């Protein structure tokens, strides 16, 4: 080994030791164990995909999971098919009307939203659910399909060890302030804008 390589190796080891100390210190400082509220927002692709990644993670440990999809549902998705056929421990509810800009029927959308929220509200009061995913819930607030105070109350009063993931663009500052973790996914490029069709098994 040359002197130059030895110096690089020594420098790398020193940097990694400092990094490990910082990571270990942060882990040691996190001494509160409870469920968390995660908000996945922004205009980029991947919010629902990230949420379903957490669903798979929870299932890996044998936990009970609840999923309610607002907005989506008129078209079958890969996640719906897989959960329905292979994951009996997941309670899966879809609003079923599809995108609101397709239905163009506010009254029907509100009725469907209220029906789906009734399922979500039961999950949020049931301590047997380790994880609850409320996919695209933010649109229900933006479109004023559901009473926001009702939603905030249910999220706030859920069982202590239950985690909840809310996805969708926007949602307002109150929802962001309530959340323990907020990730904003930014669109840099999207294949759709280049004329590429949505891909089965990737986009839905």
pLDDT in tens, 33-69: 999 999 999 999 999 999 999 999 999 999 999 999 9
pTM of the model: 0.84
Do residue 16 and residue 96 come from a single domain?
A: no
Structure token pair of residue 97: 């009307």
pLDDT in tens, 172-193: 899 999 999 999 999 999 888 8
Q: Is residue 69 packed enough to be buried (19+ CB in 10 Å), middle (13-18) or exposed (0-12)?
A: buried
90: closest CA among 116, 70, 121, 60? Answer: 60
CA 43 from centre of chain = 14
- pLDDT confidence of 2, banded at 50, 70, 90? confident
CATH number of the domain encompassing residue 60? 3.40.50.300
Indicate the angle between helix axes 78-86 and 47-60, nearest 10 degrees: 20
Which residues span the domain enclosing 138? 35-188
- pLDDT confidence of 95, banded at 50, 70, 90? confident
Do residue 8 and residue 96 come from a single domain?
A: no
For residue 123, the tally of other CB atoms under 10 A from its CB is: 24
Do residue 94 and residue 11 come from a single domain?
A: no
């Amino acid at each position: 080994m040359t002197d130059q390589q030895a110096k690089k190796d020594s420098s790398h080891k020193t940097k990694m030791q400092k990094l490990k100390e910082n990571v270990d210190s942060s882990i040691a400082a996190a001494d509160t164990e409870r469920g968390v509220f995660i908000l996945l927002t922004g205009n980029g692709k991947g919010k629902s995909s990230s949420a379903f990644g957490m669903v798979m993670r929870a299932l890996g440990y044998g936990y009970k999971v609840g999923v309610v999809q607002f907005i989506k549902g008129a078209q079958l998705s890969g996640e719906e098919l897989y959960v329905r056929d292979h994951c009996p421990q997941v309670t899966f509810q879809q609003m079923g009307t599809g995108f609101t800009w397709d239905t163009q029927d506010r009254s029907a959308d509100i009725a469907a939203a209220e029906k789906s929220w009734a399922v979500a509200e039961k999950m949020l009061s049931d301590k047997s659910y380790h994880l609850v995913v409320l996919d695209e819930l933010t649109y229900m607030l933006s479109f004023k399909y559901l009473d926001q105070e009702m939603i905030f109350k249910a999220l706030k009063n859920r069982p202590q060890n239950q985690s909840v993931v809310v996805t969708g663009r926007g949602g307002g500052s109150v929802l962001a302030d309530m959340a323990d973790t907020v990730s904003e996914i930014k669109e840099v490029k999207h294949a759709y804008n280049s004329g590429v069709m949505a891909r089965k098994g990737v986009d839905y």
